[in-house]
């Protein structure tokens, strides 16, 4: 018995030592890989300024972006026999290109990193999972939503295949899925983001602020504005405490809170927060960066809601030119620029021009968004209003009904777009003489307006005046 016990004990020690040796070998390999990666990048360039000469020691007057492209070529050629280092460097270069807003180049480089890892069987590492997430983000930027979703679902499987599961990494994957789902199913996006935040909270992660900021965005998109404000304020407080008042992360949190307050009708503090965010982005990232343009666009949206249509039109026109130059014609961000400009132009009575802009927005959305995306409804609602103003009631009925179909089941019934679809459809039915149908639609729209939060004053006036014009009461739906 003593000999058996001793043998068992020795066996346990051997297995324990073997496990320690494996862990040591893994740690050593990771350390060596990190050192090799650092050495290669240091050899490539030293400047941290994207517009500064990247290699002054060698007399090469090139920028950091150009140096990264040269570095990518070197990685392809010089490291064919070292796939682990090659994949790590491609991932690193791709991440830097993403931060420099070089989306197309980053997408290609990260895609190469994923391909190298797949060839070598590196499909369970955190690095592979990170590359999948980065590639999904970059594809999402290019509106390839189905493919991006598949990448993130695969990343989630990778995260859950490791023992023990890292809740912070799993949470990050849920947040990425929520960001993608927001464009297709805002209610579903909230559920995903709430799962992500629930995973983050017990970890004490420094990324909690960003997770809360994203959840606040999803609450806002789903018209859960009270929850959005509470969450956005918590996120901003975390960023200000951790990073200080002037960082990009803090600016993003201020921007999110500004959007929420604007949605609740608190325009003055919302504009103040937006201007704060724009100033930081201009200084830290530059006026042409995607984040800067997005925040400036949302500031213009607030100005539109406040009735400052001429001022917002000027911002939208500048953004449209910049986005066309940056992204090309067929991109959802360009479509959004056309749509916002159409709203500002229509509000000033220039309906023919607004119709052309809204049609272009709808055309692009139909090309680049998933079939049936609720986003397509927004330019359709603008076109429905233009058709009503032009006396084409049948055309307005057809377009508004199409918008209502796209929105149904994808946004809450108290969402402003869902309300306005019924309102404009009701106005069209009234012009066509179908008063019972008009009565049902306008009663429902006004009843929901009384319960919704943050609907623009102009939209409320539109629906209530249409109802009064027919001499309708305002009973609650049965």
| DSSP labels, 202-241 | GGT-TTHHHHHHHHHHHHHHTT-HHHHHHHHHHHHHHHHH
Q: Assess if residue 432 is contained within a domain.
A: yes
Is cis: bond before 164, omega within 30 of 0? Answer: yes
Question: Both tokens of residue 399?
Answer: 């377009």
Give the model's pLDDT for residue 18: 47
Cβ pair 445, 419 in contact under 8 A: yes
Question: Both tokens of residue 376?
Answer: 């397509």
- What is the rounded distance in angstroms from the CA atom of residue 349 to the CA atom of residue 46? 55
- What is the rounded distance in angstroms from the CA atom of residue 337 to the CA atom of residue 345? 12
Q: Assess if residue 455 is contained within a domain.
A: yes
Which sign does the torsion angle of CA 80, 81, 85, 88 carry?
A: positive
pLDDT above 90: residue 300: yes
Please tell me whether residue 183 adopts helix, strand or coil conformation.
coil
Cβ pair 289, 301 in contact under 8 A: no
Burial of residue 131, with CB atoms counted within 10 A of its CB: 0-12 exposed, 13-18 middle, 19 or more buried = buried
**String of DSSP letters for 103-125:** HHHHHHHHHHHHHHHHHHT--SS
pLDDT tens for residues 320-371?
A: 999 999 999 999 999 999 999 999 999 999 999 999 999 999 999 999 998 8
Question: Both tokens of residue 240?
Answer: 């200000």
Q: Assess if residue 438 is contained within a domain.
A: yes
Q: Assess if residue 394 is contained within a domain.
A: yes
pLDDT above 80: residue 44: no
Q: Which of 4-8, 234-238, 446-450 has the lowest mean pLDDT?
A: 4-8
b/e per residue, 265-304, with b = 16+ CB within 10 A?
eebeebbebbbbbbebbeeebeeebbbbbbbbbbbbbbbb
Q: Assess if residue 336 is contained within a domain.
A: no
Q: Assess if residue 462 is contained within a domain.
A: yes
Please tell me whether residue 60 adopts helix, strand or coil conformation.
strand
Cβ pair 420, 381 in contact under 8 A: yes
Which sign does the torsion angle of CA 69, 72, 74, 76 carry?
A: negative
pLDDT tens for residues 80-136?
A: 899 998 999 999 999 888 888 888 899 999 999 999 999 999 988 999 989 988 888
Split into its structural domains, the chain has a count of 1
Cβ pair 256, 231 in contact under 8 A: no
Q: Assess if residue 450 is contained within a domain.
A: yes
Kindly indicate the confidence band of residue 476, based on its pLDDT and cuts at 50, 70 and 90.
very low
Please state, rounded to an integer, the average pLDDT across all residues of the chain: 86
pLDDT tens for residues 359-415?
A: 999 999 999 998 899 999 999 999 999 999 999 999 999 999 999 999 999 999 999
Q: Assess if residue 419 is contained within a domain.
A: yes
Give the model's pLDDT for residue 142: 46
Structural domain including 432 reads 388-478
pLDDT above 70: residue 301: yes
pLDDT tens for residues 196-242?
A: 999 999 998 889 999 999 999 999 999 999 999 999 999 999 999 99
Give the model's pLDDT for residue 377: 98
């Amino acid at each position: 018995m003593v000999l058996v016990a001793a043998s068992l004990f020795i066996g346990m020690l051997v297995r324990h030592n073997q496990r320690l040796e494996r862990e040591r070998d893994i740690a050593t390999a990771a350390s060596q890989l990190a050192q090799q990666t650092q050495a290669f990048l240091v050899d490539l360039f030293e400047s941290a300024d994207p517009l500064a000469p990247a290699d002054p020691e060698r007399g090469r007057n090139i920028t950091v972006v150009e140096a990264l492209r040269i570095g990518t070529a070197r990685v392809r050629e010089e490291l064919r026999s070292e796939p682990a280092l090659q994949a790590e460097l491609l991932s690193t270069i791709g991440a830097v290109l993403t931060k420099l807003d070089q989306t197309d180049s980053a997408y290609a480089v990260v895609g190469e990193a994923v391909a190298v890892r797949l060839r070598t069987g590196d499909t369970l590492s955190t690095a592979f999972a990170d590359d999948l997430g980065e590639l999904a983000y970059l594809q999402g930027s290019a509106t390839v939503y189905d493919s991006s979703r598949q990448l993130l679902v695969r990343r989630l499987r990778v995260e859950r295949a490791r023992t023990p599961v890292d809740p912070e990494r799993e949470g990050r994957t849920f947040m990425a899925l929520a960001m993608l789902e927001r464009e297709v199913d805002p209610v579903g996006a909230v559920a995903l983001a709430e799962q992500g935040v629930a995973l983050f909270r017990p970890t004490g992660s420094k990324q909690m602020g960003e997770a809360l900021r994203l959840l606040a965005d999803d609450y806002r998109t789903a018209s859960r504005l009270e929850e959005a404000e509470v969450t956005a304020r918590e996120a901003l407080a975390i960023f200000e405490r951790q990073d200080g008042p002037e960082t990009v992360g803090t600016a993003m949190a201020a921007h999110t809170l500004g959007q929420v307050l604007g949605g609740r009708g608190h325009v003055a503090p919302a504009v103040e927060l937006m201007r704060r965010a724009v100033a930081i982005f201009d200084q830290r990232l530059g006026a042409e960066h995607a984040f800067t343009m997005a925040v400036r666009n949302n500031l213009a949206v607030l100005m539109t809601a406040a009735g400052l249509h001429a001022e917002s039109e000027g911002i939208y026109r500048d953004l449209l030119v910049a986005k066309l130059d940056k992204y090309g014609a067929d991109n959802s961000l360009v479509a959004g620029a056309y749509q916002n400009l159409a709203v500002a132009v229509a509000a000033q009575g220039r309906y023919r021009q607004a119709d052309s802009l809204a049609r272009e927005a709808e055309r692009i959305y139909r090309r680049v968004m998933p079939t049936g995306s609720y986003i397509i409804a927004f330019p359709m609602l603008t076109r429905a209003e233009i058709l009503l103003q032009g006396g084409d009631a049948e055309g307005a009925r057809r377009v508004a009904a199409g918008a209502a179909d796209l929105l149904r089941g994808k946004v809450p019934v108290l969402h402003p777009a869902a309300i306005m679809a019924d309102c404009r459809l009701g106005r069209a039915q009234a012009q066509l003489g179908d008063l019972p149908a008009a009565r049902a639609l306008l009663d429902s729209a006004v009843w929901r307006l009384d319960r919704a939060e943050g609907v623009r004053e102009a939209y409320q006036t539109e629906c209530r005046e249409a109802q009064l014009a027919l001499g309708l009461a305002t009973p609650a739906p049965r």
